[in-house]
Amino acid sequence: MDQNKKFKIVSSKKTRYLLPNILTLGGVCLGISSIKFSIDGNFSLSVTLILLAAIVDALDGRIARLIKGTSDFGKELDSLTDFVSFGIAPVFILYFWELNSYGKLGWAIALIYSVCCVLRLARFNLTKNENEQEWKNNFFEGIPSPAGGLIILIPLIYELSNFNLNFDLKFITPYLTILTALLLVSKIPTPSLKKISISSKTTIFLLLGIGTIFIALLFYTFKTLLVLSFIYLIFIPGSIFLYKKELKKHATKISDEDHEDIL
């Protein structure tokens, strides 16, 4: 009878929860490792690890929903990982690269960013859209923490990209960090691709675009990352416009339904 007993870490019914949580834990290891390499002065590897953490963060939730492995534990673990990988690690990289030259002010800026990031994640965990407001799932309130972690690294990414533009972005580091911190806790609608539906005809073009981006990141990592960061910033005003348009459309729809009920 003892031979029939098999050692199991979790029950067979719960194995689908393992993969997304393993990916999430991998993300936190990448974030912590990026801090270590920034202390060593290896900023190119540090930024690369933050990029990999962002990719893992984008995959774990989607994989969890795909295999129906979502859980409250996974949600909390994901938020804690986001705080380490995008609320602490990027600003530490900036501190060892440039902010430490500002003395106590530089450390204060680093703390402000981390505090804003944890507040943003706490608010995100408590945000629940009602059924009639599902369209809001296509938007974030404020910029998400992975985007924020990459945006504050733009001056460093620019330096690592070796663009010969004879322009130094180091001086904007503290201002960009504070601005990004405010965007994290703001209610500005920013794009979310979680609920975007893609037609079968455009799937091939989407896959081609994603493949092209990955190839560009592989061979021109920092140049591509810099371009993608600026493209994301350009999309924010467009996201605000689309949000207001959707808000107006649904407000009109609700008003018409109430009018019909009265009649």
Nearest one of 147, 137, 113 to 232, comparing CA atoms: 147
Measured CA to CA, the distance from residue 57 to residue 131 in angstroms comes to 26
Mean pLDDT along residues 103-119? 95
User: What's the pLDDT score for residue 7?
Assistant: 46
User: What's the pLDDT score for residue 260?
Assistant: 53
Nearest one of 127, 31, 158 to 86, comparing CA atoms: 31
Q: 139 - beta bridge partners?
A: 191
User: What's the pLDDT score for residue 225?
Assistant: 93
pLDDT tier at 128, thresholds 50, 70, 90: low
- Of 107 and 253, more confident: 107
The 10s digit of each residue's pLDDT in 194-213 is 656 666 677 788 888 889 99
Decide: helix, strand or coil at residue 195: coil
Residue the block writes with tokens 């609920």: 195
The 10s digit of each residue's pLDDT in 3-14 is 555 545 444 456
User: What's the pLDDT score for residue 223?
Assistant: 92
- Could you give the angle at which helices 72-82 and 43-66 cross, rounded to 10 degrees? 160
pLDDT tier at 247, thresholds 50, 70, 90: confident
Assess whether pLDDT exceeds 90 at residue 84.
yes
The 10s digit of each residue's pLDDT in 137-169 is 778 888 999 999 999 999 999 999 988 777 888
Assess whether pLDDT exceeds 90 at residue 73.
no
Backbone angles phi, psi at 85, to 5 degrees: -75, -25
